[in-house]
């Protein structure tokens, strides 16, 4: 029931707290974790509009930054015996989480609520509410 | 992290589905389950206004009906090795769930979303949303 878990993270404290709960779910059958970081398209577009640099370079930098932040998460999960898949995308967070939920055919979503991103303010309070309204699978919301 | 779980139920299909997830959490350390059924004060007051019977008798009947529905849930959980506490109260569902969360000092809430009660339509969609907005502990929402 918790076999394959989607873990959207904005690298906030509450997202890291959610990770501890995922690790706890190992004994309840969790095997594979899809770690997802969404670079908010809305924020990105707003930045890109006034950018002096090439926007492709900005996107590349953001993605590299995100991957660097994900690496220790990936290692932590692998050490605990989980299979890990990492996805970083530029999209609308709620839409992307629901898209990956379906595409990866996950069995549950574990998400921190009211997190603020280190890179950009991403998951506002309403993200988790929209997720539980529209997700097909169980959602564990960590405060 | 999932040691003591609050399980609010309206006896709907989705609430029963949530029970299966609770059972799964045993291996993740769940030991004690607080089974809570709230007789919606709003619905009760509306019924009571037009009642020809004594309202205390109506409340007694509703509570007995709820306890009868809880008994097989309690037995199922006990058979799986959980310690079980049952609470039936007449209150505002969201407020009562949050009150019991605090009073019982639970470590998580597991709740079905969009359930309809057999006794009265109780947990509408927004209950779980209000819960995740205001709960202090992690909330697992089952669809």
Whole-prediction pTM value?
Answer: 0.89
CB contact (8 A) between residue A128 and residue B128: no
Whole-number Å distance between alpha carbons of A116 and B127 = 25
- The size of the A-B interface in CB pairs under 8 A is 62
Instruction: Kindly state the tokens that stand for B115.
Output: 């359930």
Instruction: Kindly state the tokens that stand for A80.
Output: 């605990």
What digits encode the pLDDT tens for the residues B16-26? 999 999 999 99
Give the other-Cβ count within 10 Å of A60's Cβ.
Answer: 11
* Position with higher pLDDT, A45 vs B75: B75
- Number of structural domains, chain B? 1
Question: ipTM of the predicted structure?
Answer: 0.88
Which residues span the domain enclosing A111?
4-142
What digits encode the pLDDT tens for the residues B31-42? 999 999 999 998
Tens of pLDDT, residue by residue, chain B (143 residues): 899 999 999 999 999 999 999 999 999 999 999 999 999 998 888 888 887 778 888 899 999 999 999 999 999 999 999 999 999 999 999 999 999 999 999 999 999 987 444 444 344 446 888 898 889 999 999 98
**Would you state the pLDDT for residue A87?**
98
CB contact (8 A) between residue B141 and residue A136: no
**Would you state the pLDDT for residue B91?**
96
**Would you state the pLDDT for residue A125?**
45
CB contact (8 A) between residue B142 and residue A140: no
CATH number at residue B111: 3.40.50.620
3-state secondary structure string, chain A?
CCCEEEEECCCCHHHHHHHHHHHHHHHHCCCEEEEEEEEEHHHHHHHHHCCCCCHHHHHHHHHHHHHHHHHHHHHHHHHCCCEEEEEEEEECHHHHHHHHHHHCCCCEEEEECCCCCCCCCCCCHHHHHHHHHHCCCCEEEEC
Most distant pair of Cα atoms in chain A: their distance: 50
> Is the pLDDT assigned to residue A86 strictly greater than 70?
yes
Whole-number Å distance between alpha carbons of B133 and B142 = 16
């Amino acid at each position: 029931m918790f076999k394959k878990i989607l873990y959207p993270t904005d690298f906030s404290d509450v997202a890291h707290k959610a990770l501890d709960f995922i690790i706890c779910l190992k004994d309840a059958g969790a095997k594979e974790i899809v770690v997802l970081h969404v670079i908010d398209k809305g924020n990105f577009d707003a930045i890109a509009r006034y950018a002096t640099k090439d926007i492709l370079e900005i996107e590349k930098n953001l993605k590299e930054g995100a991957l660097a932040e994900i690496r220790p998460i990936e290692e932590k999960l692998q050490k605990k015996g989980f299979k890990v898949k990492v996805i970083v995308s530029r999209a609308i967070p709620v839409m992307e989480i629901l898209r990956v939920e379906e595409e990866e055919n996950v069995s549950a979503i574990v998400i921190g609520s009211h997190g603020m991103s280190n890179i950009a303010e991403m998951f506002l309070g309403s993200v988790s509410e929209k997720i539980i309204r529209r997700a097909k699978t169980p959602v564990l919301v960590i405060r």
